[in-house]
Structure 1
């Protein structure tokens, strides 16, 4: 069964493989930010029931990128975004990224990606009926 942590770990693994010199934070950054770095923010995970034991689960991420230098920072952030479109298309699982887009706000790159997939709940075991006693009669007209 796929968990939220599996998907989060898949995103972090791809970032660390692609950008080995960047620090990756998965928790809120309090202080002491070491640039260049990524901050992986997971939006609330959602799940919809589809049919029977089948559900659709939605994992949406906002990957923040803080560039090393303020000189040519926009160019650097757009280059990082181009790489993110490629490397976050598939993460371990394999899970396919969708709804990808990016923007730069206040000198920080925000790259959005969703991993939406179906999950199947385990089949519940119900006790089998041991015996059946049938009583009844046929009514004559």
Structure 2
């Protein structure tokens, strides 16, 4: 089994959004001008790694998933906020467990807020990794002679 990388975690989050919200565009790391709403923008925030013991490390991946709803008509801002809170409810449910390399990552510290007409859904995926070591070179053959004194 290969190592779980930062890009693999980000790609797994994007894949989970794609599977659970078909028909909604998803952008990663860079959002282009003229994007079509509704859409998600997945931002991987600071990632940290802390050594625990020996080759074992704790990795913390923080995400800010932006949701841009369809632009509200004049006087429909209240309904747009309700729609974003409904989307947040769905995100709490769908982003709790995200598949990665045949296993599941559990979302932690989930929270959301609406800022300037955009839903920000925050979630952390934290897990332990073990750094692989290079195998020690094998020894050559050795001949041993022995005798017993009598």
Band of TM-score, shorter chain: 0.7 to 0.9
SS in 2 for 1:111: strand
User: 2:122 corresponds to which residue?
Assistant: 112
Question: Which residue, out of 74, 82, 96, partners 1:89?
Answer: 96
The alignment covers a number of residue pairs equal to: 131
- Structure 2 residue runs of 5 or longer lacking an equivalent are 143-150
TM-aligned CA deviation for residue 127 of structure 1: 4.2
How large is the RMSD of aligned CA atoms in angstroms? 1.5
Q: Within 5 A, what are the aligned runs for 1:1-141? A: 1-70=3-72, 71=76, 72-93=79-100, 94-127=104-137
TM-aligned CA deviation for residue 128 of structure 1: 6.2
Runs of 4+ in structure 1 over 3 Å off: 126-131
TM-score, normalising length: structure 2: 0.82
Q: What is the distance in 2 between the residues matched to 1:20 and 1:86?
A: 16
SS in 2 for 1:100: strand
Q: What is the distance in 1 between the residues matched to 2:134 and 2:11?
A: 29
- Structure 1 residue runs of 5 or longer lacking an equivalent are 132-141
TM-aligned CA deviation for residue 123 of structure 1: 2.8
